[in-house]
């Protein structure tokens, strides 16, 4: 546990009781949780190695309540941690001991389904899957589909800019979002975008998406829905060498094909998945690809032929195409149960998330094997191959002294490797606390300060989810200071009027 949170404000903790009474006046009854047992439910998110008990949890039901809670917290210098369903994997919803958790679980209504404009407006606590389910009968769906879609909230998706296996073709949350309503730390309610394609003025919608709960609390979301494709088919492709598999991915894309999904698993992942759910995966392969194509039936069958030919050229040793919906589901079964499958072969596992240029795949996998041997911990790889988004799962045992530290060290090395080859620290799970202290591998202090100046515009007192994303907290007054040098005209030799 190497990540330190900001020192709690003792004064705020001392005033806890009075603050909780004031909260109760805004959100009556069971909307305020202050007993230890109740607070335990909220002590962590999906990054369960880190836990803390907040001052209180508040579960408002109206935007007016959210606004009043935020304004009250601001007046009392109390920090606020927004929380959706708590499935985040980077610790974004980790409570602060001198702050409240503002849970959006009661914002669970679908407000409007507008087929004419092909969009849906929902409250932020609605689950990702519920949106697709609500419009399914009419032939529509909401495209971004994180594996956690049964549980995760759309507000959390906006905050994390979540992706899914279909985002290569259909984009991540930010590409499918039309509008939102948010409450600032001051209690001010602001609406961005609407039902039109482009929002006007500065792209605040774009900056809010992926802001990890640091800029505003999202209280309403409008997303685009798409007509379901008329046909879907998947290929299961096995390779004797990861280089061949990587080559196949590059060739598919170079041939002008953008599959709906293009997933890779390495040998240990294939073995774990097969042992767990008997999907019928070949066990004699070093890498397995699942390539899914969707669209009009004529297109899908033609593209499946083309991908099959490319796979042959790339020396695929296993080549199967789904002949039925049932078989397609079976191809996906192993991939989709990769996490629980790994959970069975190791007491604990730690999922990391980085993106690399696709062409660096074989190199990165080879280096990862070396790092894994160096740290003495196994690594299993599942991978959104189409967009270069890696999810290495590090196998460890939390009960074993020092294992978690070793795991974090290995994760850090792998993520630095991603950056080194031209990639980034996170493709879809966010920075949170988990990767906070690695931000320096990708950004200079100046880059990070510029990002924090955006936060100052939204939350000048720094009370909304502090301690996340940025390794060093600066006061806004300090960030605003500027040293101006009066100097000569630069590069006087250049021609000018």
Partner 1 sequence: MSQTLRPASAEETRQAVAWALGEETALEIVGAGTKRAFGHAVAAGHRLELAALSGIVDYEPAELVLTAHAATPMAEIEAALARSRQQFAFEPPDLGPLLGAPAEHATLGGVLAANLSGPRRILAGAARDHALGLVMVSGRAELVKAGGKVVKNVTGYDVTKLICGSWGTLGVMTEVSVKVLPAPERTRTVLVAGLEPSAAVACMGRALSSANEVSGAAYLPAAVAARSAVSYVASAGAAITALRIEGPPISVGARNEALRALCAGDGEIEELHSHNSATFWRELRDAAPVPADAAAVWRLSVPPAAGAGVLAALEPSEGEGWLDWGGGLVWWSCPATAAASAVVRDAAQASGGHATLVRAPDALKAEVAVFHPQPAGRAALSRRVREGFDPRGILNPGRMGPDPLGTD
Ligand X SMILES: Cc1cc2nc3c(=O)[nH]c(=O)nc-3n(C[C@H](O)[C@H](O)[C@@H](O)COP(=O)(O)OP(=O)(O)OC[C@H]3O[C@@H](n4cnc5c(N)ncnc54)[C@H](O)[C@@H]3O)c2cc1C
Binding region for ligand X (CB under 6 A): 45-46, 81-89, 92-93, 104, 124, 146-148, 152-153, 155-157, 159-160, 162-164, 212-213, 217-218, 339, 428-429, 465
Distances (CA, A) of 226 to 126, 143, 149, 462: 18, 7, 17, 38
Pairing of strands 110-114, 119-122: antiparallel
Site for partner 1 in 35-94 (CB under 8 A): none
CA 460 to chain centre: 26
How many CA atoms does the CB half-sphere of 165 hold within 13 Å? 19
Whole-number minimum distance, CB 169 to ligand X, in Å?
15
Choose among 131, 73, 92, 48: nearest CA to 350: 48
Measure the N-to-C terminal CA separation of the chain; round to a whole number of Å: 60
Are 104 and 124 in contact, with CB atoms under 8 Å apart?
A: yes
The verdict on 21 binding partner 1 (CB under 8 A) reads no
The verdict on 347 binding partner 1 (CB under 8 A) reads no
Selected range binding partner 1 among 10-18, 80-88, 274-282, 452-460, rule: CB under 8 A: 452-460
- Please identify which residue in 105, 206, 378, 471 interacts with partner 1, judged by CB under 8 A: 206
| Residue number, 323 or 497, with CB nearest to partner 1 | 497
| Residue number, 85 or 452, with CB nearest to partner 1 | 452
The verdict on 491 binding partner 1 (CB under 8 A) reads yes
The verdict on 451 binding partner 1 (CB under 8 A) reads yes
Are 215 and 458 in contact, with CB atoms under 8 Å apart?
A: yes
- Please identify which residue in 6, 11, 112, 115 interacts with partner 1, judged by CB under 8 A: 115
Q: Cα–Cα distance between 225 and 330 in angstroms, integer?
A: 27
Whole-number minimum distance, CB 254 to partner 1, in Å?
5
The verdict on 127 binding partner 1 (CB under 8 A) reads no
Q: Cα–Cα distance between 106 and 83 in angstroms, integer?
A: 11
The verdict on 295 binding partner 1 (CB under 8 A) reads yes
Residue 393 structure tokens:
């799962």
Binding mask 236-275 for partner 1 (x = CB under 8 A): --------------xx-xx-xxx-----------------
The DSSP bridge partners found for residue 283 are none
CA 53 to chain centre: 24
Selected range binding partner 1 among 25-33, 265-273, 294-302, 373-381, rule: CB under 8 A: 294-302
Query: Binds 339, which of ligand X, partner 1, none (CB < 5 to 8 A, cut-off by type)?
Result: ligand X
Q: Cα–Cα distance between 438 and 416 in angstroms, integer?
A: 8
Query: Binds 309, which of ligand X, partner 1, none (CB < 5 to 8 A, cut-off by type)?
Result: none
Binding mask 217-236 for partner 1 (x = CB under 8 A): ----------xxxx------
Whole-number minimum distance, CB 212 to ligand X, in Å?
4
The verdict on 423 binding partner 1 (CB under 8 A) reads yes
Whole-number minimum distance, CB 218 to ligand X, in Å?
4
Distances (CA, A) of 237 to 241, 249, 284, 441: 12, 11, 12, 35
Are 225 and 219 in contact, with CB atoms under 8 Å apart?
A: no
| Rounded (10°) angle between helices 325-336 and 267-277 | 120
Site for partner 1 in 139-198 (CB under 8 A): 139-140, 160-161, 163, 167-168, 171-172, 174-175, 184, 188-192, 194-198
């Amino acid at each position: 546990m190497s990540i330190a949170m900001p020192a709690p404000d003792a004064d705020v903790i001392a005033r806890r009781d009075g603050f909780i009474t004031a909260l109760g006046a805004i959100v009556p009854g069971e909307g305020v949780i202050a007993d230890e047992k109740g607070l335990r439910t909220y002590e962590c998110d999906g990054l369960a190695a880190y836990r803390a008990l907040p001052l209180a949890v508040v579960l408002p039901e109206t935007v007016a309540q959210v606004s009043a809670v935020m304004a009250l917290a601001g007046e009392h210098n109390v920090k606020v941690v927004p929380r959706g369903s708590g499935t985040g994997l980077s610790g974004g919803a980790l409570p602060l001991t001198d702050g409240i958790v503002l849970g959006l679980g009661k914002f669970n209504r679908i407000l409007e389904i507008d087929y004419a404009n092909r969009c849906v407006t929902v409250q932020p606590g609605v689950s990702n899957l519920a949106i697709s389910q609500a419009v399914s009968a009419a032939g529509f769906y909401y495209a971004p589909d994180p594996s956690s879609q049964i549980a995760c909230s759309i507000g959390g998706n906006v905050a994390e800019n979540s992706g899914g296996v279909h985002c290569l073709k259909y984009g991540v949350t930010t590409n499918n979002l039309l509008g939102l309503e948010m409450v600032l730390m001051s209690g001010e309610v602001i609406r961005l975008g609407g039902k039109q394609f482009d929002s006007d003025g500065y792209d605040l919608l774009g900056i809010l998406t992926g802001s990890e709960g640091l800029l505003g609390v999202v209280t309403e979301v409008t997303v685009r829905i798409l007509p379901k494709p008329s046909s879907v088919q998947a290929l299961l492709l096995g390779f004797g060498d990861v280089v061949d598999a990587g080559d196949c991915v590059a060739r598919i894309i170079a041939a002008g094909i953008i599959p709906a999904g293009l997933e890779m698993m390495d040998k240990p992942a294939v073995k774990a998945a097969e042992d767990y759910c008997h999907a019928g995966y070949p066990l004699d392969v070093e890498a397995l690809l699942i390539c899914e194509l969707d669209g009009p039936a004529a297109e899908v069958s033609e593209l499946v032929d083309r991908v099959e030919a490319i796979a042959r050229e790339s020396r695929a040793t296993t080549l199967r195409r789904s002949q039925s919906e049932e078989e397609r589901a079976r191809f996906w079964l192993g991939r989709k149960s990769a996490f629980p499958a790994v959970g069975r072969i190791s007491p604990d596992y730690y999922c990391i998330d980085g993106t690399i240029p696709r062409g660096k795949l074989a190199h990165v996998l080879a280096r990862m094997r070396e790092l894994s041997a160096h740290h003495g911990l196994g690594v299993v790889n599942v991978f959104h191959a189409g967009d270069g988004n890696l999810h290495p799962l590090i196998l460890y045992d939390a009960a074993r002294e020092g294992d978690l530290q070793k795991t974090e060290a290995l994760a850090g090395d792998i993520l630095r490797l991603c950056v080194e080859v031209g990639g980034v620290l996170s493709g879809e799970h966010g920075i949170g606390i988990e990767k906070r202290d690695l931000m320096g591998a990708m950004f200079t202090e100046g880059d990070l300060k510029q990002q924090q100046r955006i936060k100052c515009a939204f939350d000048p007192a720094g009370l909304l989810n502090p301690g996340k994303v940025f390794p060093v907290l600066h006061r806004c007054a300090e960030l605003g200071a500027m040293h101006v040098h009066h100097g000569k005209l630069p590069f006087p030799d250049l021609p000018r009027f």
